[in-house]
């Protein structure tokens, strides 16, 4: 995984030299005294070589990556970067500053103050996978519209149209950044607006109401850690997004009010959310606390209780239970929506509990009710409804 400034600052020295990779041969060394320095490991004429890039933080992560790109370019051109003269190095720096990868990383670094770390890393990984291998070593001025289209079509051919759309957005942004910084004068990606057709949304596979009894029977018979079994039950009766569930912390629960308060930064829509706790949920939470109460998380990683369980833990459980391709954890949101609507709960109350945002901006501006009393009543009813499907 790519390094971040925050991660680098948090790295503590040990009694041995640590080598932390940023990818592509760029490595951060940390000696037992705590000194941190950059190295680029590469092969040249069938020999393993190392280029010293500088000492951190004098050479920042962003600067180290620039120097790394410069050195990689030289190696691909048959030049050993360790023997480069100062004049030649300056010429290469000027050339590299115009390369798509270099400009893209500058653009990425410029966005970091307004992005979450997880989001920024996803964008960097996506560019490293789909854009840099094809466009990375090309000068911005040499990249034409058909070349960009070819990259997008390659992504589209994998059946991931949304990924292709996001790739186009990022390419546009990089070229706009190049225009803003005086490197180029036009954006060849602008002409491609609309060439990628967004596919119709595929809804998450969900269990049918008639399958709940057999699902619970399977859940209790299948071998798994007890707190994972409880996590699956909570996924059903709380019907939050799986990411919200796995990151739930004990400190967010107000047992007097019978509520779980999820902070805005953990929510997809960046808005605080409340999950009312039914009587059954409180009973299950009591059982869970005996198992995972020593962790800050309700559902910790089984290898490290200081971290939340893995992103796909519940999906793997359902796959092992025989539901691969038939149902996923996220699908319990659809099940809850269907059942609650069938039993005449108000649509606004259901939507607020799902933490959906009103798509009509005018209506949203005047419609900020939380409906907490109604949501408590609804969640108590739904919890009881689900419980009826468990065989005694």
Residue 209 has pLDDT above 70, yes or no: yes
Order of all β-strands in the sheet with 36-44: 18-23, 26-30, 36-44, 47-56
Rounded Cα–Cα distance for residues 14 and 33 (Å):
8
Q: What is the DSSP letter of 251?
A: G
Q: Which residues contact 57 (CB under 8 A, 6 or more apart)?
A: 36
Q: What is the pLDDT of residues 310-333, one digit of tens each?
A: 988 999 999 999 998 889 999 999
- Whether cis (ω within 30° of 0) applies to the bond prior to 57 is yes
Phi-psi region of 63 (alpha: psi -120 to 50; beta: other; left: phi over 0): alpha
Supply the mean pLDDT for the chain: 86
User: For residue 234, what pLDDT band results from cuts at 50, 70 and 90?
Assistant: very high
126 and 167 Cβ atoms separated by less than 8 Å: yes
Average pLDDT rounded to a whole number, residues 348-363: 70
Can you list the domains of the chain with their CATH numbers?
Answer: 5-79 (3.30.160.390), 100-192 (1.10.150.130), 209-387 (1.10.443.10)
Q: What is the pLDDT of residues 179-194, one digit of tens each?
A: 998 888 889 999 998 8
Closest CA to 377 of 353, 354, 355, 358: 353
Range of lowest pLDDT (59-63, 179-183, 277-281):
59-63
pLDDT at 344: 83
Residue 149 has pLDDT above 80, yes or no: yes
């Amino acid at each position: 995984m790519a390094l971040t400034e925050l991660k680098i600052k948090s790295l503590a020295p040990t009694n041995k030299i640590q080598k932390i990779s940023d990818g592509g041969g760029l490595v951060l060394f940390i000696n037992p005294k705590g000194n941190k320095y950059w190295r680029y490991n590469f092969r040249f004429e069938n020999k393993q070589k190392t280029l010293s890039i500088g000492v951190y933080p004098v050479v920042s992560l962003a600067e180290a990556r620039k120097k790394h790109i410069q050195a990689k370019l030289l190696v691909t051109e048959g030049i050993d970067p360790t023997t480069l003269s100062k004049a030649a190095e300056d010429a290469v720096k000027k050339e590299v500053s115009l390369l798509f990868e270099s400009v893209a990383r500058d653009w990425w670094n410029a966005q970091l103050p307004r992005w979450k770390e997880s989001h920024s890393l996803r964008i960097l990984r996506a560019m490293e996978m789909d854009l840099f291998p094809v466009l990375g070593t090309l000068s911005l001025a040499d990249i034409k519209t058909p070349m960009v289209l070819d990259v997008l079509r390659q992504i589209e051919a994998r059946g991931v149209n949304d990924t292709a759309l996001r790739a186009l957005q990022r390419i546009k942004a990089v070229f706009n950044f190049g225009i803003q910084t005086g490197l180029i004068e036009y954006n060849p990606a602008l002409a491609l607006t609309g060439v990628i057709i967004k596919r119709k949304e595929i809804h998450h596979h969900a269990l049918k109401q008639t399958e709940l009894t057999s699902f619970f029977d399977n859940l209790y018979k299948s071998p798994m850690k007890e707190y994972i079994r409880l996590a699956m039950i909570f996924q059903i009766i709380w019907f939050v997004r799986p990411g919200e569930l796995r990151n739930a912390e004990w400190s967010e629960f107000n047992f007097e009010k019978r509520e779980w308060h999820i902070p805005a930064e953990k929510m997809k829509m960046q808005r605080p959310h409340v999950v009312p706790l039914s009587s059954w949920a409180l009973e299950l939470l009591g059982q869970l606390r005996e198992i995972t109460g020593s962790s800050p998380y309700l559902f910790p990683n089984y290898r490290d209780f200081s971290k939340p369980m893995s992103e796909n833990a519940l999906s793997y459980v359902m796959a092992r239970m025989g539901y691969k391709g038939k149902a996923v954890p996220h699908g319990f949101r659809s099940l809850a929506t269907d059942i609650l609507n069938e039993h005449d709960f108000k649509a606004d109350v259901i939507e607020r509990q799902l933490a959906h945002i009103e798509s009509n901006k005018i209506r949203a501006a005047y419609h900020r009710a939380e409906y907490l009393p109604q949501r408590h009543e609804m969640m108590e009813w739904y919890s009881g409804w689900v419980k009826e499907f468990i065989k005694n």
